[in-house]
């Protein structure tokens, strides 16, 4: 099965932002494109808007004038649905209502030929359900583009329960011929990206709701330590709080209210107040003229410790030991005459006798004089590190931990004593959902990682991140989180349990 021939017309139904973007992609790829909208006159307006964007591409040197003129000549507003007869592919981008989409595709079946591929750009509805009333559901697929469609490379090619392999293959190859990076996906709530990405938003909101940190600090830690392009609060402001909450609610309902996908009360209050993000002028941040962006909490300078005692290799944070040595701070190995006589573990002991431990899903209050430090994507490149301490932790230990990371050139944010901190709990849950999706046949490991890198700009795909951290890391963190908060939210999947054991066996660790 080959990609759709360039001579075959492509129709786009729905001429909002996404519909226009998809039409532009098909147009620039070389297809004749027909635009249809149920509201009279909107298709012509959309054609004019696409033409203006083609002009800008010429100004930027991405199209020649001749290519623009040829593309414009291939673009036709359609006055009625019957004008879509003869198209080889119809992509729908109308309102996210199941009944509306079902009615549209039933009408399209009476118009287009038997060999026409039918596709929905839905982001939250079941592809199987949309195709449920069709006479020929085998030719129906999901083609989920990401906004803005002309710029973002990812397309999720979703096979419904009745989708023929040949239809999915043609859609996949067509997306690739259009210069996109397609990933194959089974029909599941949220597909790949919107299913696996839920914890990125949910855990930031949970830390905020538990008074662990304010939005500006959480966002700064996710960016500057976690390596994410944007923090969760600024990203949901960009997406639109109503849109982001709606997707979360849809996935939660589709999974029969699985507690792991439970929506946030804090976000609900924000939506109810009309603070929808950038588009309304206010969200988690204030975007009105003259408003100032709040600064993240950053600790005042503290004195560096003279030495640390290393117990174990710090696991995923091993790079921290190298950075400490490079900063000229003495690293004493456990077993030297250091006056510390606790059981061996994976931690740093500070001159105060307090311990500095990598976030593991537990809280500082469970131990005597412990400061946790958060996971970082790359400790060498990170510009900020978060610390967490209980109220009972000695001020001297907190100061020494702060001074240590400041000596490594890092800004320090001291947050509340929340289990798993910010980055660690987020990454652990992303890994869990990714491993589960692969185990359930939603997509391959490669496609999951590709989708999360390209769809939401993660620094690593979750499965690649899991290999970097060690197979059992996420499982252990979630076990500890579940013990701290046994609501079921942090109960990891059976797939992650198996994944951890398989990784341990490959690494030669006894199980």
- Among 121, 123, 413, 466, the active-site one is 123
138-167 burial, b at 16+ Cβ within 10 Å, e below that, comes to ebbbbbbbbeebbebebbbbbbbebbbeeb
Task: Check 92, 121, 124, 144 and give the catalytic one.
Answer: 144
The yes-or-no answer on residue 297 being catalytic is no
Q: Is residue 5 part of a domain?
A: no
pLDDT tens digits for range 133-181 = 899 999 999 999 999 999 999 999 999 999 999 999 999 999 999 999 9
Structure tokens at 350: 């500070």
Indicate the residue among 415, 446, 470 that finishes a domain.
415
**What is residue 365's three-state secondary structure?**
helix
pLDDT tens across 276-334, in order?
Answer: 999 999 999 999 999 999 999 999 999 999 999 999 888 999 999 999 999 999 999 87
Do 93 and 230 have their domain in common? no
Known active-site residue 123: yes
Distance in angstroms (rounded) separating the CA atoms of residues 460 and 469: 12
Q: Identify whether 4 is part of a domain.
A: no
* Residue 170 sits in the same domain as residue 256: no
* Residues 357, 452 within the same domain: no
**Whether pLDDT at 409 is above 90:** yes
Q: Which of 213, 272, 203 lies closest to 485 in space, CA to CA?
A: 203
Q: Two tokens at 409? A: 């050139």
Establish if 91 belongs to a structural domain: yes
Judge whether 144 counts as a catalytic residue: yes
The model's pTM: 0.94
Percent of the chain with pLDDT over 90: 92
Confidence of residue 502 (pLDDT cuts 50, 70, 90): confident
Q: Does 338 score more than 60 pLDDT?
A: no
For residues 248 and 178, state if they share a domain.
no
Query: Quick one: average pLDDT of 58-66?
Result: 96
Between 277 and 341, residue with greater pLDDT: 277
Mean pLDDT, residues 334-363 taken together: 75
Domain's final residue, options 388, 415, 442: 415
- At residue 336 the predicted structure's pLDDT band, cuts being 50, 70 and 90, is very low
Whether residue 175 lies inside any domain: the answer is yes
Looking at residue 339, its pLDDT comes to: 43
pLDDT in tens, 464-492: 999 999 879 999 999 999 999 999 999 99
Number of residues written out for the chain: 511
Look at residue 146 in the predicted model and tell me its pLDDT: 96
Higher pLDDT, 368 or 171: 171
Is 340 within the bounds of a domain?
yes
Q: Are residues 313 and 408 in the same domain?
A: yes
Q: 83: domain range?
A: 10-187
Answer whether residue 301 is part of any domain. Answer: no
Report the Cα 276 to chain-centroid distance in Å. 19
- Angle at CA of residue 305, ends 301 and 306, nearest 5°: 140
Q: What is the DSSP letter of 79?
A: S
What is residue 333's predicted lDDT score, i.e. its pLDDT?
84
Of these residues, 124, 126, 159, 194, which one is catalytic?
194
* Residue of 235, 238, 262, 266 whose CA lies nearest to 248: 262
38 part of a folded domain: yes
Mean pLDDT computed over 363-371: 92
CB-count burial class (<10 Å; 0-12, 13-18, 19+) for 254? middle
Q: Give me the CATH number covering residue 182.
A: 3.40.50.720
* Given 92, 109, 156, 436, the catalytic residue: 156
DSSP state of 277: B
Of 150, 166, 187, which closes a domain?
187
Note the pLDDT tens digit of each residue in 236-283: 999 999 999 999 999 999 999 999 999 999 999 999 999 999 999 999
The CATH number assigned to the domain holding 380 equals 3.30.750.190
Mean residue pLDDT across the chain: 95
Residue 504: pLDDT band by 50, 70, 90 thresholds?
low
Total tally of structural domains belonging to the chain: 3
CB contact at 8 A, 124 and 250: yes
pLDDT of residue 313: 83
Residues 274 and 326 in one domain: no
| Residue 452 pLDDT > 50 | yes
2 lies in a domain?
no
């Amino acid at each position: 099965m080959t990609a759709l021939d360039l001579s075959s017309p492509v129709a786009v139904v729905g001429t909002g932002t996404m519909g226009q973007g998809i039409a532009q992609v098909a147009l620039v790829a070389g297809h004749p494109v027909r635009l249809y909208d149920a509201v009279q006159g909107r298709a012509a307006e959309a054609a004019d808007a696409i033409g203006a964007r083609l002009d800008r591409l010429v100004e930027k040197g991405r199209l020649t004038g001749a290519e623009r003129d040829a593309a414009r000549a291939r673009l036709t507003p359609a006055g009625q649905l019957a004008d879509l007869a003869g198209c080889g592919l119809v992509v729908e981008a109308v309102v996210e209502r199941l009944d509306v989409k079902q009615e549209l595709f039933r009408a399209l079946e009476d118009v287009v030929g038997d060999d026409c591929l039918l596709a929905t750009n839905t982001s939250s509805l079941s592809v199987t359900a949309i195709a449920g009333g069709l006479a020929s559901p085998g030719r129906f697929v999901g083609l989920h583009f990401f906004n803005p469609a002309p710029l973002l490379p990812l397309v999720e090619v979703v096979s419904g329960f009745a989708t023929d392999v040949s239809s999915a293959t043609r859609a996949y190859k067509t997306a690739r011929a259009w210069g996109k990076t397609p990933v194959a996906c089974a029909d599941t709530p949220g597909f790949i990206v919107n299913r696996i990405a839920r914890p990125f938003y949910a855990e930031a909101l949970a830390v905020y709701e538990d008074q662990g940190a304010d939005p500006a600090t959480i966002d700064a830690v996710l960016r500057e330590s976690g390596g994410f392009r944007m923090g969760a609060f600024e990203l949901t402001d960009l997406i639109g709080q109503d849109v982001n909450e709606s997707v979360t609610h849809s996935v939660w309902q589709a999974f029969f209210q699985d507690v792991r996908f439970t929506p946030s009360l804090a976000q609900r209050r924000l939506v109810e107040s009309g603070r929808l993000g950038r588009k309304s002028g206010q969200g988690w941040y204030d975007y009105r003229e003259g408003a100032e962006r709040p600064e993240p909490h950053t600790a005042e300078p503290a004195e560096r410790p003279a030495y640390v005692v290393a117990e174990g290799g710090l696991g995923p944070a091993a790079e921290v030991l190298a950075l400490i040595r490079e900063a000229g701070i003495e690293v004493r190995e456990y077993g030297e005459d250091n006056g510390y006589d606790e059981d061996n573990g994976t931690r740093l002991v500070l001159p105060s006798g307090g311990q500095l431990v990598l976030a593991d899903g537990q809280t500082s209050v469970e131990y005597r004089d412990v400061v946790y430090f958060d996971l970082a994507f790359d400790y060498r490149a990170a510009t900020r590190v978060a610390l967490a301490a209980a109220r009972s932790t000695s001020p001297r230990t907190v100061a020494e931990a702060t001074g240590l990371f400041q000596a490594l050139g890092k800004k320090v944010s001291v947050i509340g004593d929340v289990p798993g901190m910010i980055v660690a709990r987020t990454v652990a849950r992303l890994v869990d959902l990714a491993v589960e999706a692969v185990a359930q046949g939603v997509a391959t490991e490669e496609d999951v990682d590709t989708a999360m890198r390209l769809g939401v700009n993660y620094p690593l795909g979750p499965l690649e991140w899991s290999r970097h951290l060690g197979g059992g890391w996420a499982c252990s963190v979630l076990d500890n989180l579940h013990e701290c908060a046994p609501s079921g939210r942090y109960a990891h999947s059976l797939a992650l349990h198996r994944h951890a054991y398989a990784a341990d066996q490959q690494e030669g660790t006894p199980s």
